[in-house]
């Protein structure tokens, strides 16, 4: 595997670099990216093989769950069975990046992983 590095100018983002990273993720590969505090390691969270690559690369135990990022509330429909009223109230205020914890739907997620 060859590592490719693309320098991002936050004031002038090259959309082609985003497309390249997106293609890596779609193909089941990993992408490293800066966050507010550390570098993140990302992949398609619904691709079982890609998730295994994250666990292996990080030396992370397989019983330590990964974070799944979504860009719209509707994406939860395929991932969880229940959205509490308190979560719904938070969605109304959704100011930007926010971390919420849900109990995953085993049946729904298994269907997506196939």
**Span 43-77, pLDDT tens digits:** 998 898 999 999 999 999 988 888 888 888 888 88
* Cα 62 to Cα 42: distance, rounded to the nearest angstrom: 16
**Comparison of pLDDT for 89 and 104, the residue scoring more:** 89
CB 8 within 8 A of CB 17: yes
* Same domain, residue pair 41 and 76: no
The whole-number pLDDT of residue 31 equals 95
Domain identity same for 76 and 110 = yes
15, 40: one domain = yes
Whether residue 110 sits in one domain with residue 54? no
Average pLDDT, the chain: 86
**Together in a domain, 56 and 9:** yes
Average pLDDT over residues 10-32: 93
32 compared with 36, residue with greater pLDDT: 32
The domain in which residue 78 lies consists of 68-114
Question: For position 112, what pLDDT does the model report?
Answer: 58
How many structural domains compose the chain? Answer: 2
Specify whether 103 is located in the same domain as 51. Answer: no
């Amino acid at each position: 595997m060859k590592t490719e590095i693309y320098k991002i100018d936050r004031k002038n983002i090259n959309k082609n670099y985003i497309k390249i990273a997106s293609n890596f993720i779609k193909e089941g590969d990993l992408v490293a990216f800066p966050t507010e505090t550390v570098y993140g390691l990302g992949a398609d969270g619904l691709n079982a093989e890609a998730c295994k690559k994250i666990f292996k690369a990080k030396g992370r135990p397989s019983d330590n769950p990964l974070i799944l990022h979504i860009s719209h509330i509707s994406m939860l429909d395929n991932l969880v069975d229940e959205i509490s009223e308190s979560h719904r109230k938070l969605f109304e205020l959704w100011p930007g990046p926010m971390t919420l914890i849900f109990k995953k739907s085993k049946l729904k997620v298994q269907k997506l992983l196939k």
